Amino acid sequence: MAINMTQYAQTLALLKANLKRDWLKMTIWLVVLAGMFVAVAAKFEGIYGTPKQISTIAETLKSQAMVSLFGPMTTAHLNTAIIFASEMMVFWGIFMVIFNFSLSVGATRGQEESGLTEMVLGGHPVGRLAPLAAAGLELVIANGAFVIVTGAGMMVANMPGSDGNGNWLFAVTLGAVGLSFGLISLIFAQLVADSHNVAIYNYVFFGITYLVRMMTDVSNPDYTWFSPFGWIEKADIYTKNNWLPVGLLLMLGVVGFAAAVILNGNRDIDTGIIQVRGGKRTSRFLRGSGTLLFWNQKAISLFWIVGMAVLGASYGSVFNSISKIVNDSPVVRQVLGQSGVRHLEQNQILSFVGILGVIFSVLAVVGGAMVINHLYTEERRGYLQMINTKPESRSKLLATYMVYGFVLSVIILFVALMAAMGAGNSVLKHPLAFKYFWRLFIAMLPTLALFTGILVALIGIMPKWRAVVWIALGGAFVISYFGRLIDLPAWAMKLSPFYWFRKVPLAHIDVAPVTWMLGIAFVMIVIGFIGYNHRDIES
């Protein structure tokens, strides 16, 4: 079938406009992702450079808990570079997927919702498929830039055990997984009619691929081929240096873009393939901004709650595998005795639960922050004009979104921990007490309040800078998750709110950090409310 090139007219002009709009976002993401990746690589020899250091971390990474997080170790002959690849591949792949989702949604549905796509297509000689092609090219450029910077940086870092083929394969694999999922996101941008639902579809798809990767890595790594996200592990960086996963990811991306092109030809601007059903009679419960917010957010809220329950249960199902190192050691059993072994097993599992608490808390903040962010999104689109004409104060409106978002984040965290406890205790011979999960839940609440307060302050006084909360959250997660692995200094570790509860649930909660975190959150919320009441409302 011949390609009608007139449908792609002015693609480069739109690409230039996209890059002009997104250059700051792309620069920040690339500096953080590529810069931190290379910085860790450069420092890694000092952390895991000796055989003893490598042997110690290898035992940890081979445990089922770490396999569920990082993937399996594929070789017994380990070196610094292989340890680095094992620790970094999965989580940097996650960051690349999130980065590409952010770009693809903004370049497609975000443009249509703002009216720019209709204005361009209606008033200029621009091809119908030009906006879609420009979005695809923007993804190629962003991931290409990451590959070049990361690959070159890895060559300079020159870790023991690394080689040029492995360095560039590492960079290209991460770029390929980001590009592939970004192009698949273009499909969902054709299926549904707003960016909010596109994001839901994106993360549902990614969540499924991640869960398949996690479960197959633990049960049978051969089945990880069924997960597109799991393909990045099959590259076997610095061992076999297999380029096949890169080819598969690029093919998947091309298929995704082709499908998006076909779907785009079967819909109108500002509509989706999946048609919105006709509205029902107005519910008698819709009596204000609070009930309206609940009505609009109930689907995404349910998605978050169910999704986190599934994630929690998935991690809980591997609890029985965590203590295998202890069980498989006759020396440990002989020295400690049965009660001592049981105590050591419990401590290992609870340490893993503490890690899960950080992961679940980060995701809970994301879920709640998306709701609060929606206030500014609806403000820019003019959706709040009718509400603002009614005798309802701005303070009440902001409080409605803030309370809903915070309560949702609390529910998400609680459900995830309870699901992990339920699934974990179902496979353990000696179930864990509820008090440990409750203690961890209470410990994480101040961190939820802190990030909520930061976001409220930004929406109140500097709404265009609200993305700062994502930078702060991502930084806190990286510090807490990778800080000890990359031997960060104590002062750097303390920058993460999660650091102050690192010993929970094994230890009791320290009241001091709870107090100052809640104090900062309160001050930030007050600043946000004052600013929101005095700034101009956008439309």
Specify the pLDDT at position 324.
Answer: 55
- Output 37 or 171, whichever has higher pLDDT: 171
Q: How confident is the model at residue 186 (pLDDT cuts 50, 70, 90)?
A: very high
Instruction: For residues 8-36, give the mean pLDDT.
Output: 84
Q: Is 58 helix (H, G, I), strand (E, B) or coil?
A: helix
| Statement: residue 145 has pLDDT above 90 | yes
Between CA 142 and CA 96 the distance in angstroms is 10
Q: How confident is the model at residue 44 (pLDDT cuts 50, 70, 90)?
A: confident
Provide the terminal-to-terminal Cα distance of the chain, rounded to the nearest Å: 44
SS3 content of the chain, % helix, strand, coil (to 5): 80, 0, 20
| Statement: residue 132 has pLDDT above 80 | yes
- Output 211 or 180, whichever has higher pLDDT: 180
Specify the pLDDT at position 161.
Answer: 86
Choice among 79-88, 115-124, 257-266, 289-298 with the minimum mean pLDDT: 115-124
Written as six digits, the tokens of 159 are: 């870790």
| Statement: residue 103 has pLDDT above 80 | yes
Between CA 451 and CA 472 the distance in angstroms is 8
| Statement: residue 332 has pLDDT above 50 | no
Of all residues in the chain, the percent with pLDDT exceeding 70 is 85
Please say whether the beta carbons of 449 and 518 come within 8 A: yes
Q: What is the pLDDT of residues 232-247, one digit of tens each?
A: 999 999 998 999 999 9
Q: How confident is the model at residue 336 (pLDDT cuts 50, 70, 90)?
A: very low
Specify the pLDDT at position 412.
Answer: 96
Written as six digits, the tokens of 386 are: 């009718």
Which class for 210: exposed (0-12), middle (13-18), buried (19 or more C-beta within 10 A)? buried
| Statement: residue 456 has pLDDT above 80 | yes
Specify the pLDDT at position 124.
Answer: 57
The angle at the Cα of 223, spanning 221 to 228, to the nearest 5 degrees, equals 100
Instruction: For residues 87-97, give the mean pLDDT.
Output: 89
Please say whether the beta carbons of 437 and 349 come within 8 A: no
Choice among 4-8, 155-159, 429-433 with the minimum mean pLDDT: 4-8
Specify the pLDDT at position 3.
Answer: 60
Between CA 334 and CA 326 the distance in angstroms is 11
Contacts of 61 by beta carbon, 8 Å cutoff, 6+ apart = 67, 70, 73, 83, 86, 87
Choice among 14-28, 163-177, 185-199, 384-398 with the minimum mean pLDDT: 384-398
Structure letter (DSSP) for residue 236:
-
Specify the pLDDT at position 273.
Answer: 75
- Output 127 or 94, whichever has higher pLDDT: 94
Q: How confident is the model at residue 331 (pLDDT cuts 50, 70, 90)?
A: very low
| Statement: residue 377 has pLDDT above 50 | yes
Q: Which of 384, 517, 377 is nearest to 442 (CA)?
A: 517
Contacts of 128 by beta carbon, 8 Å cutoff, 6+ apart = 7, 121, 264, 265
Amino acid at 277: R
Between CA 94 and CA 97 the distance in angstroms is 5
- Output 218 or 422, whichever has higher pLDDT: 422
Specify the pLDDT at position 138.
Answer: 94
Mean pLDDT of the chain: 83
Between CA 389 and CA 539 the distance in angstroms is 14
Q: How far is Cα of residue 531 from the mean position of the Cα atoms in its chain? A: 29
